[in-house]
């Protein structure tokens, strides 16, 4: 495939027809002046050494050399060679918990940061393996499809934070099910699902999902991050997260649940602490997996082809210099050089300047290679390969974080994959960085569309208003704004219904938790319960009763926000 790295320089080719017109005008003026001296045939006899063809040849040689130099400055490239290689390795899907509890600092620097470092170190040990990345909390989505591009995997890890998923909680079952469908169709390859979590499973069903994965030949490994004694969850304002009753939330590692999931999935449970023991043990476990031939599609980089155009242009210039306008170059060589030394020097200076521009242009284009990533992403986006386009756009953002076009396109790719919360963040960043009012309006319009889809009418109205401030002529935004205002008026009834459903769900969860606590109390002998344990149970019951009363009061009041509130 042939392309130009800097096609904007091709506009310089418009100079060629302009130079041809000037040349034509100059020849006509010269002929008119010669007619004033005398008859045309007489003038030819008086100038026997002048050739009418050689000046034309020299001119067209210069034009051709100039065209080649312009093409060389535009950096022609040949590449996009696709090769399919067979490698011996395994396929690994990493499911990373990014709930708020992963921000606890019982593992230095935090549970989430420690997990990211662990994954990056694990990727460094991969050679012929494939890796995919899934992030989950109350919801789950594929952050990176399974690939052999380890650079992209590390880059995606840097951008992971709890704000990527608006729905908080920990749904390990959904993450395992999504990982099961993210592998390739090759069943002869060893496949591993690595769940990195603190074990606070609020949804249930993780053990059953791990058993189903084991039946399909996938082994589930669980990396438990944190301290079983628990730790508070820090917030952005420097404090700690509290529940509805004002008590500080203590998030503890649930090792028992992690062991059950790993045992059901045929894998192993590994406790992650401040040492490197977990990293070494995980590498040993992955080495034991069956290794099969993995077919990997590799895209070669574009090769520079400007050298060939530069050599041709240089040859044409040398030929043009060697051709003289007189018919007898052996006799007129010295005289011609003495008459026009300045012209020859200027011509050589022009050649050197153009050659220097061509040589230094690759350095400038490399400094702006984020544009190439954007073009690659646009091509993938048009082919509806949104996951691949997301990878290219993230590369462009990593290369130049201040490029609003890359950030906006990344938001579009995320929105096409229904990663709405992450897309809103990118659109907000693009709106802040964008200088063009039209593009800024497009970013805020998309934010409004996403908020409107999730019935967040207040946020959608503000986004649409900001879009109209930048582009008042956008009738579609104006229509959506009016529609949101109308839907916002009819929203309280729907909010009441949703709130009642949520309260019923929370009450059922509380009842289930109470039953589990009662069963544990029955299983434990009375004479073994200490005074400290009895006080803890009593305090927990009092706090639970207060929380239930507060939820009942809120249910009786008219809600003003549609956000679902959990204990934290």
List, for residues 353-400, the tens digit of each pLDDT value: 555 554 544 434 444 467 788 888 888 888 888 888 888 888 888 888
- Cβ distance 71 to 271 under 8 Å? no
The tokens describing 510, both together, are: 């509380």
pLDDT-flagged residues of the chain (< 50) = 82-83, 296-300, 329, 331-343, 345-346, 358, 360-368, 494-495, 524-529, 558-568
How far the first Cα of the chain sits from its last, in Å, is 54
Residue 499 burial (CB < 10 Å; 0-12/13-18/19+)?
A: buried
Return the pLDDT at 220: 92
Return the pLDDT at 511: 65
- Cβ distance 192 to 93 under 8 Å? yes
- Cβ distance 480 to 449 under 8 Å? yes
Cα atoms in the Cβ-side hemisphere of radius 13 Å centred on 539: 8
The phi-psi region of residue 169 (left if phi > 0; otherwise alpha if psi is between -120 and 50; otherwise beta) is left
Cα atoms in the Cβ-side hemisphere of radius 13 Å centred on 230: 7
Helix H or strand E encompassing 140: strand 140-147
Q: Is 301 helix (H, G, I), strand (E, B) or coil?
A: coil
Return the pLDDT at 487: 75
DSSP codes, 21-39: HHHHHHHHHHHHHHHHHS-
DSSP state of 12: G
- Cβ distance 266 to 220 under 8 Å? yes
In degrees, rounded to 5, the angle at the alpha carbon of residue 201 between the alpha carbons of residues 213 and 132 is 45
Of 498, 312, 442, 436, nearest in space to 426 by CA: 442
**Phi/psi of residue 3, nearest 5 degrees:** -155, 175
Angstrom distance (rounded) from CA 145 to CA 396: 18
Return the pLDDT at 138: 80
Helix H or strand E encompassing 151: helix 150-158
Residue 561 burial (CB < 10 Å; 0-12/13-18/19+)?
A: exposed
The tokens describing 126, both together, are: 């991969």
Instruction: Tell me whether strands 231-232 and 266-272 are parallel, antiparallel or unpaired.
Output: unpaired
- Cβ distance 322 to 61 under 8 Å? no
SS (H, E, C) 56-124: HHHHHHHHHHHHHHHHHHCCEEECCCEEEEEEEECEEEEEEECCHHHHCCCCCCCHHHHHHHHHHHHHH
The gap from C-alpha 459 to its chain's centroid, in whole angstroms, comes to: 25
């Amino acid at each position: 495939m042939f392309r130009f790295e800097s096609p904007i320089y091709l506009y310089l080719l418009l100079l060629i027809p302009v130079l041809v017109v000037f040349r034509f005008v100059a020849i006509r003026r010269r002929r008119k002046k010669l007619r004033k001296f005398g008859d045309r045939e007489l003038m030819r006899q008086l100038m026997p050494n002048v050739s009418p063809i050689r000046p034309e040849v020299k001119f067209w040689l210069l034009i051709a050399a100039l065209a080649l130099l312009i093409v060389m400055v535009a950096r022609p490239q040949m590449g996009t060679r696709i090769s399919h290689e067979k490698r011996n390795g395994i396929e690994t899907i990493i499911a990373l918990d990014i709930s708020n509890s992963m921000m606890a600092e019982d593992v230095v620097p935090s549970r989430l940061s420690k997990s990211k470092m662990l994954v990056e170190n694990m990727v460094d040990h991969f050679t012929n393996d494939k890796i995919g990345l899934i992030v989950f909390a109350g919801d789950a989505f594929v952050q990176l499809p399974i690939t052999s591009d380890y650079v992209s995997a590390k880059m995606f890890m840097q951008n992971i934070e709890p704000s990527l998923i608006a729905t908080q909680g920990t749904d390990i079952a959904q993450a395992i099910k999504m990982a099961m469908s993210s592998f390739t169709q090759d069943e002869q390859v060893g496949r591993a699902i690595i769940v990195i979590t603190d074990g606070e499973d609020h949804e249930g069903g993780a053990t059953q999902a791990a058993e189903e994965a084991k039946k399909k030949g996938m082994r589930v490994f669980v990396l438990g991050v944190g301290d079983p004694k628990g730790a508070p969850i820090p917030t952005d304002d420097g404090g700690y997260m509290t529940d509805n009753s004002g008590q500080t939330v203590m998030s503890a590692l649930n090792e028992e649940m992690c062991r059950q999931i790993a045992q059901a999935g045929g894998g192993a449970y590994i406790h992650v602490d401040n040492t490197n023991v977990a990293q070494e043990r995980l590498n040993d476990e992955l080495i034991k997996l069956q290794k099969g031939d993995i077919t990997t599609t590799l895209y070669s980089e574009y090769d520079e082809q400007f050298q060939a155009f530069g050599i041709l242009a240089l040859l044409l210039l040398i030929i043009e210099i060697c051709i003289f306008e007189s018919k007898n170059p052996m006799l007129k060589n010295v005289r011609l050089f003495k008459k026009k030394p300045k012209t020859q020097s200027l011509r050589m200076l022009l050649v050197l300047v153009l050659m220097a521009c061509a040589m230094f242009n690759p350095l400038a284009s490399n400094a702006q290679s984020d544009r190439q990533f954007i073009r690659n992403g646009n091509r993938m986006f048009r082919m509806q390969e949104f996951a691949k386009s997301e990878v290219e756009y993230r590369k462009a953002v990593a290369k130049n974080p201040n490029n609003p076009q890359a950030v906006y396109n990344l938001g579009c790719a995320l929105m096409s994959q229904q990663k709405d919360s992450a897309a809103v963040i990118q659109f907000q960043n693009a709106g802040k960085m964008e200088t063009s009012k039209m593009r800024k309006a497009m970013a805020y319009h998309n934010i409004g569309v996403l908020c409107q889809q999730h019935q967040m009418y207040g946020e959608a109205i503000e986004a649409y208003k900001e879009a109209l401030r930048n582009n008042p002529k956008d009738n579609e935004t104006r229509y959506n704004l009016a529609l949101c205002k109308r839907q916002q008026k009819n929203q309280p009834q729907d909010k009441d219904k949703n709130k009642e459903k949520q309260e019923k769900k929370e009450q059922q969860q509380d009842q289930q938790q109470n039953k589990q606590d009662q069963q544990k109390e029955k299983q434990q002998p009375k004479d073994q319960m200490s005074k400290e344990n009895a006080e803890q149970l009593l305090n927990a019951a009092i706090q639970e009763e207060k929380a239930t009363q507060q939820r009942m009061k809120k249910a009786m009041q008219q809600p003003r926000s549609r956000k679902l509130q959990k204990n934290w």
